[in-house]
A = this chain, B = another copy of it.
Amino acid sequence: MTDASLAIEEGNFHSSARQQKHRHDLIDAWLQLSGRAWSCILEVGCGQGDQTASLAKRFAQSKITAIDPASPEYGSPTTLGQSQAALKATPWGQNITFEQMDAVSFAARSKSGKAEKQDIAVLSHCIWYFPSPQILTDTFQALKSTGTRHLALAEWDISTGATSASVHLHSVLLQALPAALRDTEANIRCPLTPNAIREAACKAGWKVRGEMTLKSPDLEDAQWEIYAAKAAIAKMQKAHLKNEDQIALHAHEAALQAAISHWEASRRSTDSLAPCLDVWVSVFE
C-alpha cells in the first residue's frame, strides 16, 4: 500500500500519509511494550481522530471509545465533528464511538456501571494540549480508579531538540512562556517532559512497564508549531504585557527566529519540513 492510499483509505483526509504512518508506528511500539493486543480501547484526547483511525484499522475486532472534551465545531481546516463523521463512515468506523467528554467524567460513568472496563487507555500526542498538569494528574488517577489495565502514552520530548530539532524546540519554548500559557485558548498549555509525565502517572498508582524513543523527524508537527508560536507572538504583542513578559518574549522570539533562519539556510529544498523532536513512547500498568 502506498502512503497516499493509506491516507485516503483511512478516510481521514486532513491527515497526511506521514502522520498516518507515525500513528501506526506508535501502535507497534505500544504492542511491543505491552506484550498484548486489546479488545476494549479508550482513547483520551482523540481530537480529529488521527490515532483513532489507525487503532480502528489495526484492531478491527476491538471496541474503541474515543473521547475529547473539545466542541465538535473546534478545529481547522476540518472540525472535530467533520473528521469524526468522515471516520465513522469508513468500513471500520462502526467499531468507534466518539464522545465529547473528558477522562474524569468517563471514569465516573464507568464506575457507576454505565461504561465497560477498558483494556487500555491511549493518550497520543494530546498531553501538551491539556489545560494544566493538574488535569493530567486527575486523568491518570481517574483511569487507574476504573481498573484500566494499561496506559499507553506518546508525547514529544523537549530534551531531544538540542541538535537538529531546534526549530520545534524553540517553537515549544516560546509557547511555554507564562504570558502565552495564560491564554486559555493557547495551543500548547502543558509542555511536560517524559520525567514529569512519568512522575505524574506513578503518583496516580501506575507502574512503568516499558519505554522507548521513536524518531519521526519528518512529520509536519514542527511546522505546525512554528505557526502556533507565531500566532502566540502576535497575540502577546497585542496584549498589555508586563515589562518582564515583554523582555522574555523579545529574547525568545529572537531565539526562535534564529533557529528558523538557521534551518532555512541548511535545508535541502524550500519544501523541506523543519525536523521534529523525538517521541517518548511508554506503557504503564
Contact = CB atoms under 8 A, between A and B. Distances in A.
A196 interface: yes
B255 A181 contact: no
A217 to B, nearest CB: 16
A178 interface: yes
Contacts of A40: none
Chain A interface residue number, banded: 35 or more
Interface in A187-236: 189-193, 195-196
Given A176-B247, A244-B178, A244-B181, A158 B255 contact: yes
Interface stretch (A57-65, A87-95, A160-168): A160-168
Interface of A is mostly: helix
A158 B254 contact: yes
A172 interface: yes
Given A158-B255, A255-B169, A248 B132 contact: no
A173 interface: yes
Q: How many copies does the complex hold?
A: 2
A172 B244 contact: no
Interface in A121-171: 132-134, 158-163, 166, 169
Given A159-B258, A162-B259, A163-B262, A251 B191 contact: yes
Given A134-B243, A193-B250, 18 more contacts: A132-B243, A158-B251, A158-B254, A159-B258, A166-B166, A172-B251, A173-B252, A173-B255, A178-B178, A178-B179, A178-B247, A182-B244, A189-B247, A190-B247, A191-B250, A192-B247, A192-B250, A193-B251
Interface of A: 132-134, 158-163, 166, 169, 172-173, 176-179, 181-182, 189-193, 195-196, 242-245, 247-248, 250-252, 254-255, 257-259, 261-262
